[in-house]
Amino acid sequence: MTTISENTQAAAVSQRDEATGLIGFLPAKAARALVLGGSGLTVAACFLAWTWTPTFPGDLTYYGSPAGLQTQVLVLGVLTALFALSSYGVKGTRWLTPAGADAAIKVAALATFGTTWYTVAAISISLGGPINLEPGGAIVALSSLLTLLGALALPFERPAVHPVDPEDTGWDQFKHRAGNGWTAFKGAFAATGTVRKLPPMHSTVEILIITGILAAALGVFTYGVGTEYDELFLGFLITAGLGFAAINKSGLMQQATQLTKKHQNLTIAGAFIAAALFPFTQTDDQYATLGVYILIFATVALGLNIVVGLAGLLDLGYVAFLGVGAYAAALVSGAPTSPFGVHLPFWAAVLVGAGASLVFGVLIGAPTLRLRGDYLAIVTLGFGEIFRIAVMNTDGTSGPDITNGSNGIASIPNLDIFGFDFGAEHAIAGFTIGRFANYFFLMLLIMAVVVMVFRRSGDSRIGRAWVAIREDETAALAMGINGFRVKLIAFALGASLAGLAGTVQAHVTYTVTPEQYLFAGPIPPNSAFLLAAVVLGGMGTMSGPLVGASLLFLIPNKLQFMGEYQLFAFGVALILLMRFRPEGMIANRRNQLEFHEHDETPATPVKAGA
């Protein structure tokens, strides 16, 4: 059995400390010292005043009390310092970097530098020049720059891999790539002296760790939703994006993923409990409003994930099924503008909305699902536009009087379920819960149903057939899978889930109009944003579309102050994400291997001693 001897590890660490990095002006040992000193100075500078006037949002004039953007820089500075201590092997910090510290230090230093210099630039532009900076602002700018320079001086070497013989068979090339990957993997950990396994933990400890992860996620989400001014939200985007990238480089995200997979049912239950606590963190309905719309958008995205992520059917008109469910529920919910004059209870309206979307899904899917690829996408895009034009023309003038045309169905009454009025405030455990918080809890229950359907269908026989169709439809048909029937089931199931969310949307918005169901627009939900949420979040996964939908709804709402540049900035962000994370933010293992099968591990392999 081959092992790595202590002498080999010591030689590898010594070689690592003598190496130079990207900018090559310092040996690695001195670079780590510069990172540690610079990050410590950055943390200390966060307790100083950065400007002399409270005119800049957040009031950065206090000593000893970080506020606003100072808090974000403080968190990133502490994170960088901890990674630097871990690179020294300080006891109690080694667990922070199970995949090696150098890459994590670089990204964390970049995050600190980015948020700091963004803040300095915002102060200078807002107040009329850098002369408005107090000494604390100048110190933190210099210290973050030194930290980044030290991080860039850390070694960055790629493993030497043997070329593939072009005459090898496909299986031989696969074995060759697997062997190179394993060699690089061993070399990466050997070169950093981090070949170690986590000690076995008691289930209680693992549950406590998962609880901490969920609590941190709730805190980050609540902070992002509750950012009170534009500068703070832009800083939050930099901090959260690069901060999570640094944590991912350290290997902590992979370990967290392993823990959550081990206790998957407990993690899902804990995630719903954490989400249910969100309204209790708010003092009014201002941000609970965003919460309920995010849940609606995320639920619809998860339904689309069945069609696109599991079955591989490109649907560009999926938002129409949301509209069918919303209109169907609005017409039978007692709205005074409904021509039917029917007021069904909520459970019946839910069945009507989901059933109407299911019927439309079957009617549209039956004649079109024999198409593939771009042709199917064009047909579904046409269906989305046909639905919008049809509801505009059924106004009693151009067609029958059903939907009131462009005016839509207005004055939809609030829900009343078993005497619980969703439009009124209620006191729960001493907290006052408003209208949007009531709908937030209802939407959370509906999302639980959708998550259960997604999990059960994905693990079932039909779910495996969807994946087979997605990977290679010709091979799946040759194996005896009825491709048309399998795709029609996916299309109908996804449509019914969208209609289910549409029934709640109709009551939350009070009014349903054709303009709410466009293919593309500045504010979701629309078909383009729904598809982007699935792709960016991670196709075929359960949590990916939920995370993607949350970000794609929150960010455009917070970037409205940018006016005509909003979609430009948003588009640039999407391009960068697809460039550096093409498999999505939360990707399944298959997609991750497909997108990164030719990537090399940034490390130098070390020969192992016997």
What integer is the mean pLDDT of 559-586?
76
Task: For residue 171, name the pLDDT band (cuts at 50, 70, 90).
Answer: very low
**Angle between helix 319-331 and helix 527-537 axes, rounded to 10 deg:** 120
For the cut 80, the answer to whether the pLDDT of residue 236 exceeds it is: yes
Share of residues in the chain with pLDDT > 90 (%): 11
Report d(CA 493, CA 357) in Å as an integer.
Answer: 9
What integer is the mean pLDDT of 101-125?
91
Those residues whose C-beta lies under 8 Å from the C-beta of residue 173, and which sit 6 or more positions away, are 164, 165
- The stretches of 332-415 forming alpha helices (DSSP H) are 346-368, 373-393
Those residues whose C-beta lies under 8 Å from the C-beta of residue 459, and which sit 6 or more positions away, are none
pLDDT value of position 589: 64
pLDDT value of position 597: 54
pLDDT value of position 108: 92
Task: Tell me whether the omega of the peptide bond preceding residue 525 falls within 30 degrees of 0, making it cis.
Answer: yes
pLDDT value of position 606: 38
pLDDT value of position 225: 82
Task: For residue 319, name the pLDDT band (cuts at 50, 70, 90).
Answer: confident
Which range is least confidently modeled, 179-183, 494-498, 580-584?
179-183
Q: Tens of pLDDT along 461-490?
A: 888 888 888 888 888 888 888 888 888 888
Q: Counting beta carbons within 10 angstroms of the beta carbon of residue 307, is it exposed (0 to 12), middle (13 to 18) or buried (19 or more)? A: buried
Q: How far does CA 23 lie from the centroid of its chain? A: 33
Contact of 74 with 64, CB cutoff 8 Å? no
Q: Tens of pLDDT along 482-524?
A: 888 888 888 888 889 888 888 988 888 888 888 888 877 666 6
Task: For residue 129, name the pLDDT band (cuts at 50, 70, 90).
Answer: confident
- The per-residue pLDDT of the chain, averaged, comes to 79
Q: Tens of pLDDT along 44-99?
A: 999 999 998 888 888 888 888 888 899 999 999 999 999 999 888 887 788 888 88
**3-state class (DSSP) for residue 133:** strand
Give the residue among 32, 34, 8, 7 at the shortest CA–CA distance from 19.
32
Report d(CA 355, CA 349) in Å as an integer.
Answer: 10
Return the C-alpha torsion angle 48, 51, 56, 58, nearest 10.
10
Which range is least confidently modeled, 12-26, 385-399, 412-426, 570-584?
12-26
Instruction: Name, of 7-16, 70-79, 163-172, the range with top average pLDDT.
Output: 70-79
What integer is the mean pLDDT of 365-374?
79
For the cut 60, the answer to whether the pLDDT of residue 121 exceeds it is: yes
What integer is the mean pLDDT of 444-451?
88
pLDDT value of position 601: 43
pLDDT value of position 579: 79
Task: For residue 107, name the pLDDT band (cuts at 50, 70, 90).
Answer: very high
pLDDT value of position 117: 93
Name the more confident of 175 and 395.
395
Task: For residue 393, name the pLDDT band (cuts at 50, 70, 90).
Answer: confident
Task: For residue 294, name the pLDDT band (cuts at 50, 70, 90).
Answer: confident
Tokens standing for 437?
């918080």
Q: What is the CA radius of gyration of the chain?
A: 27
